[in-house]
Structure 1
Amino acid sequence: MSLTAMERRSAVYGNYICHTFQGGSWADRSPLHDAAFQGRLLSLKTLIAQGFNVNLVTTDRVSALHEACLGGHVACAKLLLENGAHVNAVTIDGITPLFNACCSGSVACVNMLLEFGAKPQVGNHLASPIHEAVKRGHRECMEVLLAHGVDIDQEDLQYGTLLYVACMYQRTDCVKKLLELGANVNAGKRLDTPLHAAARKSSAEIVILLADYGANLKCRNAEFKCALDLAIPNSKVEQALLLREGPASLAQLCRLCIRKRLGRSCLYTVHKLHLPEPLENFLLHR
């Protein structure tokens, strides 16, 4: 296995990769696993025709479908699924094929898995696919899962809400889309809000975005600190927060009020109000 492939696996399976040279968790990998991960469709077909069980797993319960999705090989994933691969198979680390597809950023694999019955939203005992998509900045994967009913304010015990993760990892595109779709701007990880995360990461653009969508600048976390307390002195983040510290403008208050009234459907229902284009664009933060 090449170092590159090893590094890609390490991104998902963490410490498991260290066992590769110790006869551990990867020692029992089958030719089916290798063909799936490397995207060798013809070899995969041959192995299946020879009678290899598509649901064969390693001691860590990694299946060939996990590998195909980690490599982003949609044709291999489809072949495995058509031959009975378990779409919701779970490793001992709580990882599903959908999680791996989100890790690789393969929208095609995500759609394929959902077509075959993958669960878009998982319980807290499993690794969250959509949180992984946001963490890595794979916005399209995130949007597909949201369109399939994943709660936009779903909070992961380890990572917090999707918006919080997007702010922590400075995924501006994901932040914008989540806010457009009506994510709760103040819901983060326990008492820590997305604004706390953005200030801590010195992300001025994200701080401004959150403030424009109504983030509460006075929220205090478990350490009783507000976002301004976390900003680097004389930084752009501090300047942005200080500029917004006073009362909001009447225009901003009206925008927040209307958006709150429309709820999460704002992005779609505002067009039905037949407003002048400049006003519509203002409400939609364009």
Structure 2
Amino acid sequence: MQIKHQVVTRTPLGGFTLVEVLASVALISIVAAYFVHIQIQQVQERVVEALAQDVLTLANASMTYFSQTNEWPDQENGDCDDLIATLGGLGAFPVAVGGYQGPDGITLATRCEDTGDLGRTLLISVNFPFGADDQAQMLMSYLPTSVNEDVDDDEGPVVTHYVATPRRASERYRFYRIALEERGIFRLSKPDCPGRRNDPAHILLPQAICMPASAQGLGGYFFDEIDDDDDYWELQLLVADGEENNNVSDFMEFSGIPTCDGNRVYVGAITYCETR
């Protein structure tokens, strides 16, 4: 009797070894960490972009205010310390009840400093919490005219944005119509000229002069400066009485309050800042 032996071969099942599984988990973790980092960075970029937009909006609103008033908001009262509140009260910048509400504990501070010939420069400082150095560096890339201030090691970074005095402010004209008082005297307010190279100046023109006619017609008029105060000029309108008008003594002053056919006599005036 013959016995047959049958050999059975088992094929191993397919799968992953422990090393392969651990390698896959590590790779997935690295990819996930990378994408989480990217998401965090994008969130930070959006926060800094919004912050930069707030700073630029504040600067634009301040320059608009300057163009209308020839000074920065809150310049006279506190060297621009309450600039944000001033613009907020005018509806030119959004301010909450407790002041400016920045993201992640970020605050804004303002001041204006005298820079000599250039007038006063507005400085907008962005105060970051401790450890936000990356955000501060990112903000500087959005605000080219800014500087990272020197602070103590235990303080958060501070980025200051510089806003120069608008150039058109030094050439701004103001128009007045002023009635002459006793003896033809009147006062004219001086403009507030920024910087040390801009001087107050004026252009004057009488709107009506009544006097006896002469063969040569009206001999002319002359504005005599009586007083030169820091805030105003005190001037007097004199008119020529005759053909000679080379000297001040050739002009006469009015008696009482000047009138023309029963109406007050007015002077048209333009004030501006003249650059030396």
Q: TM-score, normalised by structure 2?
A: 0.24
Q: Which has the higher contact order (CA 8 A, sep 6+)?
A: 2
Which protein is bigger by CA-based radius of gyration? 2
Which structure has the highest strand share of the two? 2
More helix by percentage: 1
